[in-house]
Amino acid sequence: MRITAIEVYHVRYGLKDKKYAWSGGHSVTSFLSNIVKVCTDEGIHGYGEVCPLGSGYMDAYAAGVAEGVRELGPTVIGRDPTCLRALNDAMDAALGGHHYVKSPIDIACWDITGKAAGVPVATLLGGRVAESVHLYRAISQASPREMADSVARYHAEGYRRFQLKVGADPDDDVARIRAVKGVLGPGDVLVADANTGWRPHEAIRLVNAVAHDDVYIEQPCPTLEECLVVREHTTLPMVLDEVITGVVPFLRAWQSRAMDAVNIKISRVGGLTKARQIRDLCEALGVVMTIEDSWGGDVTTAAIAHLAGSTRPEFLFTSTDFNSYVDVEVSPDAPRRHEGRLPVPAGAGLGMTVDDAKLGEPVVRVGKG
């Protein structure tokens, strides 16, 4: 089988909650997502998606995907999509970095490989070991009362794990954590995610103030070194996210004993092939994981479901159903949340169909297909 064409589609998502805000005064009200379709000479198509959280959150911006695919086209066209490691090696040789451009191509080729083999991507990633996976709900930064109300509402919808967007004034963030703890029930899990928003002295003040609360602290500061300073001052479990950009940064953090959990974002590390590498290392080294992406819709959510659904359940901390946050559906049969859990598709490939009519016209098409 050979890849004959790659198409990039732009889909604009609105947020059902209208706005999503996090540290540093950042917020978004809509997202430009890129859905990438990879075509083959055997008539099998695969889909991938990358949806950056605005242009400033990580080394990615939505409009860059089309140009990146144009750049990678000559390298990818004519390749066997089922030879995923060779495909990734070739993409890395042709274009340094730009993980977010490679990620949807890689995901689409996993989709093709699964469809060709007649098995779910989860099976190819190690085995579909769960029917469904735990979800967390991200709670947009707002006043303590508003965030507590939001948690109560999503608790009623079945979520039991919550990630509060903090990383602002530490006194305000302590109030946010306390307000939310007042509406949680037994067994609920709370993560305070600063998204790199604190300096170490601010993070230290916060972890001291909530030292006796049952709360995880996620990515308090921008660098691994700053996070390590915070780590020295707390016994609260720590999650690293923004600094986990690949295998080597992950191993550096692990060797520094910097975290108890990591947040693996598929597009940040370059796709399912590389996310699986980190996932497997986490399982071997005893690090639990949130498996998700920067944002997305139906295709991203399906990719997350397959990676999470092939992860040993005891190592899966949480994952995310991004398609329940946005107001556009491109698939009639994408996995959708039920009672705070995301089903792991059992169909071949990503186990979902994409309605091409919902994608409009491609913004870029390379090759012929």
Which candidate, 103, 111, 123, 87, places its Cα nearest to that of 302? 111
Which 4-63 residues touch Mg ion, going by CB under 5 A?
A: none
Of 91 and 139, the one with the shorter C-beta distance to Mg ion is 139
- List C-alpha distances in Å: 140 to 4, 19, 74, 223, 314: 42, 8, 41, 23, 28
Of 105 and 316, the one with the shorter C-beta distance to Mg ion is 316
Distance CA 134, CA 125 (A): 18
- Using the rule CB under 5 A, give the single segment among 123-131, 201-209, 215-223, 355-363 that binds Mg ion: 215-223
- Using the rule CB under 5 A, give the single segment among 61-69, 101-109, 197-205, 241-249 that binds Mg ion: 241-249
**Residues assigned a catalytic role:** 165, 265
Cβ neighbour number for residue 298 with a 10 Å cutoff = 30
Q: CB of residue 240 vs Mg ion: minimum separation in angstroms?
A: 9
Strand bridging mode 30-40 / 45-50: antiparallel
Which 122-181 residues touch Mg ion, going by CB under 5 A?
A: none
Report the residue from 111, 173, 241, 298 that binds Mg ion according to the rule CB under 5 A. Answer: 241
Distance CA 140, CA 147 (A): 7
Of 106 and 218, the one with the shorter C-beta distance to Mg ion is 218
The partner residues of 354 in beta bridges, in order of sequence, read: none
Strand bridging mode 364-367 / 341-343: unpaired
Which candidate, 112, 66, 59, 126, places its Cα nearest to that of 268? 59
Report the residue from 193, 292, 293, 321 that binds Mg ion according to the rule CB under 5 A. Answer: 193
Distance CA 16, CA 294 (A): 17
* b/e per residue 95-121 (b: at least 16 CB within 10 A): eeebbbbbbbbbbbbbbbbbbbeebbb
Q: CB of residue 135 vs Mg ion: minimum separation in angstroms?
A: 15
- Using the rule CB under 5 A, give the single segment among 18-26, 53-61, 90-98, 214-222 that binds Mg ion: 214-222
Q: CB of residue 165 vs Mg ion: minimum separation in angstroms?
A: 9
Q: CB of residue 227 vs Mg ion: minimum separation in angstroms?
A: 12
Q: CB of residue 136 vs Mg ion: minimum separation in angstroms?
A: 10
The count of chain residues that interact with Mg ion, using the rule CB under 5 A, is 4
Residue nearest to Mg ion (CB): 241
Of 111 and 193, the one with the shorter C-beta distance to Mg ion is 193
Contact string 263-292 vs Mg ion (x = CB under 5 A): x-----------------------------
- Using the rule CB under 5 A, give the single segment among 206-214, 234-242, 248-256, 307-315 that binds Mg ion: 234-242
Token pair of 311 as six digits = 């992860």
- Using the rule CB under 5 A, give the single segment among 30-38, 137-145, 233-241, 336-344 that binds Mg ion: 233-241
Of 197 and 362, the one with the shorter C-beta distance to Mg ion is 197
Distance CA 252, CA 248 (A): 6
Q: CB of residue 290 vs Mg ion: minimum separation in angstroms?
A: 8
Token pair of 27 as six digits = 């917020």
Strand bridging mode 316-319 / 288-292: parallel
User: Among all chains, which residue has been given the structure tokens 């495909």?
Assistant: 87
Backbone angles phi, psi at 238, to 5 degrees: -120, 140
The site for Mg ion (CB under 5 A) is made up of 193, 218, 241, 263
